[in-house]
A and B are shown apart, each in its own frame.
Chain A
């Protein structure tokens, strides 16, 4: 009986736990779709043209207000930056309140008030909002532009520009805008030391008087306010704002290159390259294919599920983040795909970028990817509703872009209606893989060699976006480094001065094959400058080069030639058994990177000697030899360093004999033995 009860109980438990167990292997289904309510703001317009939108929302005891003066963009030319002063100097007190008192009160209220050249923003707890709105309006309409404040801000702006000079990302950003839109376009120009120095206080005042007008302005209030009360207050504070005469500047045409090209900006301190593939587009929110363009971009470069992230981040690990963006504008906008990648993979990343961009142009996307892209837009739309500012933003979009009143009510419907064909058509039209600028801001000496192997023409630009020459492919020599210190470092690396100085003679035997025939090279060196080199083939001496300290000769296949005076001079000056000692009298010419390794290069006469910056070891010597056919560079490479009597010697030596590469392997090294004066006769 007892066992039975047990089993019943366990059964009961089992079934209980089974029924509680969910099936983890299945993705849970979605619940019923939630209802979305997009509120509509209340609106009114003041006689001066100011349009006001109010979104009442009492969830939190706070209010925000934004003034947006929606004038068409205008270029500032050689006074670029003047608008920054307007924004910076508004809110530095007013004709009715000193700067100090103003700052103090804003801080005291725990509020934020800020200005742009054609905008203003404030937020605070609702209990202080009436006063905060009053302060904002006062500062906006009764500004004081003092010389003192102007001078201070100019200095700060100059400092800030100086400070961003080494920031790879900020230089990349300003140059790629300039290249996309052109230097005379409002979206392409940027503030520089030169333009800042052109600006006077009078310019700032004039600019403010020209643009800070209600004609094209919108005021948006969001939060814990009562519409009637706030309408009354706004009418009082903004009713007296006088209309202006607005002028519109024609905008320069924005063009893409005829064929895709690389635009390179050299930043020697970069350890990552900023890569942007950019083309200008003409895309407006009301365009029929606007939604298709959004979704095509989402599929290509929208976050971690985009094609770019899957390939360049997840598959290749080239970058921390990559993506693309496309925006609509009434004036001009662009498509931009970008990433920061480590120097060494810059060229590979460019290839992958272009591969993905062309893929979405020439191959239809998957339905599954389109569905994900749509779901993302739906999700974003729903989650954005949490913010009252979304409602205001939507209403503003409709007004400013002349969109139908029900634009956002139909938004999800329009997103869902986009087909795979629509996506491809939008990709072909807006992602110009064939007419792009690939703007790369990075370290030339690390990345250019490989970029030159790609199919694209490379044009060079400086940090201001001006065309320039290809940068020198070397690095600056650190202060204090000279030929002597490089050689010291080498001596240290192979065993130290004491050990090296104790070597009076070296004998070295090495072997190679030339067209299947074995060669034996025997080198003997003795202090201070005696040397002998004998190459034998099958026991026969093919070549001998002998120098006894005062004179010498060369013998090739039995023909003996005495050394010329110049050769004697060179041989005399050549320290043995370690010729490197001679190079201390050369000059340290540059640091050159080769395949990612940096080398000190010493120029000594017609020879360049390369020492690894990191290890100190010598990697090659390149001798320039004059021939009737012009200069020929003859390299000798040294590698496979191994210890002999406590000193590192290269055990692999490469050189050239005419067009042929010769690789010698060292088979024997003797120190202070096996060499006599006889060897140099």
Chain B
């Protein structure tokens, strides 16, 4: 079998240059500073409109957390011209669907329709930005819904606090990434209407947003409508951003977390890593592929397959604007001790820090990323969000087309150096994520 792999590897050198498809787009600014990105694809009669705002949980003030995510809910209430609670109805009655999402850095709103509803989608999104309904009644209803969302996703779901980053408090002492993305419920309960309005006034403005239109549309028509609906929205003074510097950790920390919904502990090693914009972040993505993507990956093979110490092994980075979080985690099999498992993981990290990976592994990583790239760009929805994020957070819309080049230029030596630099023992936090019943 080895033979065929080798011959494939040499074949690859040839194919590399004939890369996957390029994502074409056009971008420009409106007079009010709103950035616009257009991506045409007429393979199906569908359009997507997305507006992403450069505001997330990290921008919230102390004592007033939860606002960013709360807005994701609030901005479905209605607008001056869209009556209260009619948003979804209008959307559905034209065959559309949509949603919104928040993370620590940004909030996005998107809608997908048959291609003959572009004008409607633009109108709705411009309404949402220009004059949404923000009143006590809307706040009271959404407050309950947000609390239920927290219970559903974090409190009642196995490993929920890991999945939703509620454990980042152990990694960040100073930076707001250490606060729960959804905020503290007590802050939301105490927040007054004026404070909600202040938050909107501070962050929701055309010059702090990007609009993406993707799919099957006539460019000239689209540009006219975009201008009609969005250009009249007044520009405001751009919000001031404070970047909080998080000190480097100099000694290993070990913490416990408890979850009533689980029976098997999860052992996590988390590291503060560079912003997703940095090349090193990409190198870390490569490292997580080597460690845990696929059955032949090092941690999966060793911990799950060979030694049967873990039910699952994973590693991934949560790519964020100021820093990222890199997590290596395993769900322990019954009878495995946390320390034994850590020892095994340490061995693999040490190997990455001291030995160069093989040519074959390097090629494997490249193939995997190419496959992922094609999959990620298989829907116009996916492309729209990537374009918006690349522009808004990284200031480079074309990253979507250069990402693979970056991956392909990463060297074995670089992988070793990055592993040494960022996965050092003293930089990490080890978390024993335990069943509630083990709480003392």
Residues of chain A whose beta carbon lies under 8 Å from any beta carbon of chain B: 20-22, 24-25, 27-36, 59-62, 97-98, 100-101, 103-111, 123-125, 127-128, 131, 152, 155-156, 158-160, 162-169, 269-272, 303-305, 310, 313-321, 340-342, 371-373, 375-376, 378-380, 382-383, 385-387
Contacts and interface: CB of A to CB of B under 8 A. Distances in A.
A372 B92 contact: yes
Interface in B25-61: 43-46
A663 to B, nearest CB: 33
Closest 6 CB pairs of A and B: A379-B95, A317-B144, A34-B45, A110-B367, A31-B116, A110-B371
A162 B264 contact: yes
Contacts of B117: 30-31
Given A340-B152, A375-B94, A33 B379 contact: no
Nearest to A157: B311
Given A313-B145, A375-B93, A166 B123 contact: no
B120 A104 contact: no
Interface string B83-122: 0010011101111110000000000000011111111101
B143 interface: yes
A663 B124 CA distance: 60
Nearest to A101: B1
B367 A109 contact: yes
Given A33-B114, A108-B5, A169 B156 contact: yes
B294 A303 contact: no
Nearest to A126: B374
A379 B113 contact: yes
Contacts of B261: 166-168, 269
A43 to B, nearest CB: 23
B246 to A, nearest CB: 32
Interface in B107-151: 112-120, 122-123, 126-127, 130, 140-145, 147-149, 151
B371 A124 contact: yes
A270 B152 CA distance: 10
Nearest to A124: B371
Contacts of A385: 44-46
A49 to B, nearest CB: 32
Interface residues of B, number: 96
A349 to B, nearest CB: 11
10 contacts: A30-B94, A31-B119, A62-B374, A98-B1, A124-B371, A156-B333, A163-B262, A167-B261, A341-B148, A383-B46
A372 B93 contact: yes
Nearest to A100: B296
B370 interface: yes
Given A30-B116, A107-B368, A386-B380, A162 B334 contact: yes
A345 to B, nearest CB: 9
Interface in B323-355: 331, 333-334
Contact of A340 (B8, B148, B262, B372): B148
A61 B90 contact: no
A382 to B, nearest CB: 4
B112 A383 contact: yes
B397 to A, nearest CB: 21
B263 A162 contact: yes
B321 interface: no
Given A28-B119, A107-B297, A167-B157, 10 more contacts: A60-B21, A107-B295, A107-B296, A125-B20, A166-B263, A270-B156, A271-B156, A314-B141, A342-B148, A383-B113
B296 A376 contact: no
Given A108-B5, A108-B364, A320-B152, A59 B308 contact: no
A479 to B, nearest CB: 8
A163 B216 contact: no
Contact of B371 (A22, A125, A167, A371): A125
Nearest to B363: A108
A61 B21 contact: yes
Contacts of B112: 383
B305 interface: yes
Nearest to B334: A159
B399 interface: no
A159 B148 contact: no
B250 interface: no
A269 B157 CA distance: 11
Contact of B296 (A33, A104, A341, A383): A104
B165 interface: no
A386 B384 CA distance: 15
A27 B367 contact: no
Contacts of B2: 101
Contacts of B199: none
Contact of A60 (B81, B366, B378): B378
B158 A167 contact: yes
Nearest to B380: A386
Contact of A62 (B15, B45, B301, B375): B375
Contacts of A340: 148, 151-152, 156
Contacts of A372: 89, 92-93
A125 B367 CA distance: 9
B144 A318 contact: yes
Nearest to B297: A107
Contacts of A166: 158, 260-263, 435
B390 interface: no
Given A21-B232, A108-B363, A162-B264, A317 B143 contact: yes
B228 interface: yes
B367 A108 contact: yes
Most buried by A among B76, B261, B436: B261
